[in-house]
Structure 1
Amino acid sequence: MYYALIDCNNFYASCERVFDPALQNRPVTILSNNDGCVIARSAEAKELEIPMGIPEFKIRPLIRKYNVAVRSSNYALYGDMSRRVMETLQTCTPNLEVYSIDEAFAELSSSYMDSLEAYGQYIRKRVLKWTGIPVSVGIASTKTLAKLANETAKKYKSLNGVLVLDQPEKTEKVLRHVPVGNVWGIGRNYTKTLEKHGIQSAFDLSLLPDSWIRQTMKVTGLRTVWELRGKPCLTVEQTVEPRKGILSSRSFGQPVRNREDLNEAVTLFASRAAEKLRAQQSVASTITVTLVTSKYANEGSQYKFGLSVSLPNATADTTVFSSVSKMAVNRLFDPSKTYKKAWVMLTGIVPENEIQANLFTETGYSSRMHKLMESMDAVNARYGKQTMGVAGAGVGENQSWRMKQEHLSSRYTTRWDELMEV
């Protein structure tokens, strides 16, 4: 049995390049919410040593000197391109685990065993042809080794994007060059402990006795070591566990000082959280609203103000969450404060088919309301987010509290009014 890890190369930047060929071979940086810090870079931007997390204003001289393209994070586009990549991968193998927005594990059947290298190249060519996104493929006998193979394939151009660890000498060579802290599952604390004992590489880690590993790193650490030795302990998970908490949060485009703007923002965040809740066919019984002021306005004083509300019945009804959110804002709002951020979090999440009825109140998520929410989600899925929503979230996208996105590209695949013109 072999596993493959397919990872999109510089995913956010690659998504931008699919629809703007002028960005090819040009340094590209993607900025965080409100165009604050660098959160993604193309290979060319990495070569300029633009660090992750650096504020945009600090690299403006580099941007001007090297004609660096700057884009606001376009999560609607990235999410849809991720969906297309994963659907393409499912045509290559039915046993697929979507690990993140730009990564997936695949379990390879015996029919591929004689041509793993060719199979990896087949995956790369198909994804590039069907989506325009370049990927790297690492193949090995365990998921941990496949991840290391993928990282190595990205690092060395001579491998042409694919590395298969099917021989002990190839595996050992890779393990010797991987720092122990770069091994999947080895966190910062374990790295310090291992380095203190002279374990510097993944190969050093693989040679340690099981008894020492179990005592120092528990059972999870032992499984990691076994995976490095080629013994599979992790399988491909084809079902995704529903989230136990759903958070919707944004920093404001400019400071907010009035109750009406806060109500609009928080209502929108509650709507988004409810949509995510329904997508996993769940309901929630607790909603928490938090308002955030400047951490540095009054050093040492409280700057986060939150309120949790337990609902009489678990629900996924946007109208319930929005009305409770407004009530929370009205209780938390202080006209003497200036707010920079807010968030809404849903907890107490259970599958919607496990709703427990309350003898003393009507059901919190009636079949009538369920159908209404389904209809709203269907409209938004077809015509774009916020095509239909609750009135309290405001109309349009020009509210002052909305995120600053001065370098936002078009949402080519999810908005009719932003389709590419040729």
Structure 2
Amino acid sequence: MTKPRDYIALVDVNAFYVSAERVFDPKLRNRPVVVLSNNDGCCVALSPEAKALGIPLGEPWFKLAAQAPQYGLVARSSNYELYGDMSARVMRLLNQCSAWVEVYSIDEAFVGVRGTPQQLKAWGHQVKERIWQELGLPVCVGIAPTKTLAKLANKTAKKIPVLAGVCCWEAVPVQRREALLASLPVIEVWGIAVRLTKRLYAMGIESIAQLRDADPAAMRKRFSIVVMRTVLELRGTPCIPLEEEPAEIKDQLIFSRSFSEKITTVAEMEQVLGVYAQRASARLHKHDRQAKVVTAWAMTSHYSPDQHGPSATVTLPAPTADPVLLTRAAKALLPRIHEGVRYARAGIVVTDLYKTGHQPVFDLFTDRHEERQIGPLIESVRQKINGAAIGLGRAGLKAGPQWQMRREMMSPRYTTHWDELPLVKA
């Protein structure tokens, strides 16, 4: 009799951005739908129906817009607040199903589970059904002894309809597993990119089965310990543990965006830097970090005849996450901005990061704004009301400026804004 043992499940929401849109707009179901990148540029998510039309990921929307009505193609601007909130709901539900959950990305998580293969197969179907019933999101579940095999099992669950979205790797007959590994190219393995695939092909390693059967010590010597771990994981030996805590920012934090309309004046750039610096401050507070170095930069389009890419770096007297100090430091860029030049992008980079309170600060270097906790106060107001409710200086905007990211086809933020709640008519 098979004894219960520890496994890893990968739960992944199918076509997450599109699926989140369909939860609140059932008219989108069974229709080709694409979700667009910043400024409604390219397709970053596709429904199965859109893929069936032959639309590639990354296709510019302007190439599709004219023919969209003919194919019934629907486009939506990226609704990051909606996606973030729906993701958080999925993760909260998974935490009710297991004591150990590692959020891997916005739409997938590794989950620690224990049982026999048949028990875990049933568990996978229960989780899949619960997420659908409570959140309206379709997921696939892959369960295996290692993360690498769980990723592979999840892909298998997506591609083989008879599995109904759940694949417990060790519940699949050995002959079928071997045939699958022999038929799949090595690039299908988690962490094996195109460049590494070419090097493996040169060694005669083309299938996943061939990579699994390679000598681990030789793979470490020729490539790296990461590739050796992949080989061992494919053999069922766990080498990549579940992480208890989410990844933290370590070396730097970057906040940058492209403009929907070019910035041509110093006054407009001052507004941009104020907004970006205060958002960087909010992220630092969220991760309990402070920065000692601030770099602000701007750049024109690569195709612009008057190329210009100024930058300015400021070292602060002491580490801080205070929005006033970060905004003031970012404005060191303004004397280098040329009036009339069409800037297409700007950004703030904060480096030399410290955990809050890591370094004691003498009273001489303590700013009065930091003493009053201006940054946490602003963020708490934004969380309770909305992101545009409060800001400092030119970043205190009642309505979004013209240069802000274009999202002309964005659906309502159904779950995070009272005035955008969905209405149900019965």
Q: TM-score w.r.t. structure 1 length?
A: 0.94
Task: Give the equivalent residue in structure 2 for 1:344.
Answer: 348
Q: Residue 67 in 1 paired to residue 72 in 2?
A: yes
Structure 2 Cα separation of the partners of residues 325 and 420 of structure 1: 40
Q: Residue 176 in 1 paired to residue 167 in 2?
A: no
Amino acid aligned to 1:3: I
Structure 1 Cα separation of the partners of residues 129 and 320 of structure 2: 45
Structure 2 Cα separation of the partners of residues 376 and 305 of structure 1: 30
Structure 2 Cα separation of the partners of residues 386 and 178 of structure 1: 49
8 Å Cα contact 2:322/2:369 also seen in 1: no
Structure 1 Cα separation of the partners of residues 140 and 134 of structure 2: 15
RMSD: 1.8
| Partner SS for 2:365 | coil
Question: 1:186: Cα distance to partner?
Answer: 1.4
Structure 2 Cα separation of the partners of residues 355 and 49 of structure 1: 55
| Partner SS for 1:166 | helix
| Cα distance, 1:170–1:358 mapped onto 2, change above 3 Å | farther
Q: How does 1:186-201 map to 2 (within 5 A)?
A: 186-201=192-207
Question: 1:217: Cα distance to partner?
Answer: 1.7
- Following TM superposition, the consecutive aligned residue runs of length 4 or more in structure 1 with deviations greater than 6 angstroms are none
| Cα distance, 1:214–1:335 mapped onto 2, change above 3 Å | same
Task: Give the equivalent residue in structure 2 for 1:94.
Answer: 99
| Cα distance, 1:271–1:366 mapped onto 2, change above 3 Å | closer
Equivalenced residues, count: 416
Give aligned-pair identity as a percent: 38
User: For 1:128-167, what per-residue CA distance to the aligned partner results, in whole angstroms no more than 9, with x for missing partners?
Assistant: 1221111100000110000011011111222110001115
Structure 2 Cα separation of the partners of residues 347 and 129 of structure 1: 44
Question: 1:293: Cα distance to partner?
Answer: 0.6
Runs of at least 5 residues in structure 1 that lack an aligned partner in the other structure: none
Of residues 110, 115, 127, the one that matches 1:105 is 110
Task: Give the equivalent residue in structure 2 for 1:34.
Answer: 39
Runs of at least 5 residues in structure 2 that lack an aligned partner in the other structure: 1-5
Of residues 220, 231, 237, the one that matches 1:225 is 231
Task: Give the equivalent residue in structure 2 for 1:285.
Answer: 292
Amino acid aligned to 1:234: I
Of residues 138, 141, 144, the one that matches 2:142 is 138
Question: 1:170: Cα distance to partner?
Answer: 4.3
Task: Give the equivalent residue in structure 2 for 1:397.
Answer: 399
Of residues 244, 256, 277, the one that matches 1:249 is 256
User: For 1:66-108, what per-residue CA distance to the aligned partner results, in whole angstroms no more than 9, with x for missing partners?
Assistant: 1111011111111111111100110000100000011100111
Amino acid aligned to 2:45: A
Task: Give the equivalent residue in structure 2 for 1:57.
Answer: 62
8 Å Cα contact 1:27/1:67 also seen in 2: yes
8 Å Cα contact 1:12/1:40 also seen in 2: yes
Question: 1:174: Cα distance to partner?
Answer: 3.1
Task: Give the equivalent residue in structure 1 for 2:3.
Answer: none
Structure 2 Cα separation of the partners of residues 269 and 349 of structure 1: 18
Question: 1:182: Cα distance to partner?
Answer: 1.9
User: For 1:255-314, what per-residue CA distance to the aligned partner results, in whole angstroms no more than 9, with x for missing partners?
Assistant: 11111111111211111111111111111111111111121123xx75422112111111
Structure 2 Cα separation of the partners of residues 95 and 174 of structure 1: 30
8 Å Cα contact 1:32/1:38 also seen in 2: yes
| Partner SS for 1:248 | strand
Task: Give the equivalent residue in structure 1 for 2:413.
Answer: 411
8 Å Cα contact 1:317/1:365 also seen in 2: no
Amino acid aligned to 1:48: L
User: For 1:29-59, what per-residue CA distance to the aligned partner results, in whole angstroms no more than 9, with x for missing partners?
Assistant: 0111111111111111111111111111112
Task: Give the equivalent residue in structure 2 for 1:387.
Answer: 389
| Cα distance, 1:365–1:103 mapped onto 2, change above 3 Å | farther
Task: Give the equivalent residue in structure 1 for 2:302.
Answer: 295
Question: 1:10: Cα distance to partner?
Answer: 0.2
| Partner SS for 1:346 | strand
| Partner SS for 1:115 | helix
8 Å Cα contact 1:252/1:403 also seen in 2: yes
Structure 1 Cα separation of the partners of residues 407 and 285 of structure 2: 28
8 Å Cα contact 2:266/2:337 also seen in 1: yes
Structure 2 Cα separation of the partners of residues 365 and 238 of structure 1: 37
Of residues 328, 335, 342, the one that matches 1:323 is 328
Structure 2 Cα separation of the partners of residues 381 and 404 of structure 1: 23
Worse-superposed segment, 4-13 or 376-385: 376-385
Structure 2 Cα separation of the partners of residues 208 and 51 of structure 1: 34
Structure 1 Cα separation of the partners of residues 391 and 176 of structure 2: 55
Question: 1:61: Cα distance to partner?
Answer: 4.2
Structure 2 Cα separation of the partners of residues 287 and 15 of structure 1: 36
Of residues 305, 308, 311, the one that matches 2:316 is 311
Question: 1:388: Cα distance to partner?
Answer: 2.1
| Cα distance, 1:94–1:364 mapped onto 2, change above 3 Å | farther
Amino acid aligned to 2:194: R
Task: Give the equivalent residue in structure 2 for 1:363.
Answer: 366
Amino acid aligned to 2:276: F
| Partner SS for 1:173 | helix
| Cα distance, 1:6–1:196 mapped onto 2, change above 3 Å | same
Task: Give the equivalent residue in structure 2 for 1:160.
Answer: 164
| Cα distance, 1:417–1:286 mapped onto 2, change above 3 Å | same
User: For 1:205-249, what per-residue CA distance to the aligned partner results, in whole angstroms no more than 9, with x for missing partners?
Assistant: 111122321222221111000000111111110112321222111
| Partner SS for 1:307 | strand
Amino acid aligned to 2:346: A
8 Å Cα contact 1:264/1:394 also seen in 2: no
8 Å Cα contact 1:32/1:73 also seen in 2: yes
| Partner SS for 2:403 | coil
Amino acid aligned to 1:220: V
Amino acid aligned to 2:395: A
Q: Residue 10 in 1 paired to residue 15 in 2?
A: yes
Of residues 118, 127, 130, the one that matches 2:131 is 127
| Cα distance, 1:62–1:227 mapped onto 2, change above 3 Å | farther
Worse-superposed segment, 27-36 or 184-193: 184-193
Structure 1 Cα separation of the partners of residues 150 and 176 of structure 2: 12
Question: 1:355: Cα distance to partner?
Answer: 2.7
| Partner SS for 2:228 | helix
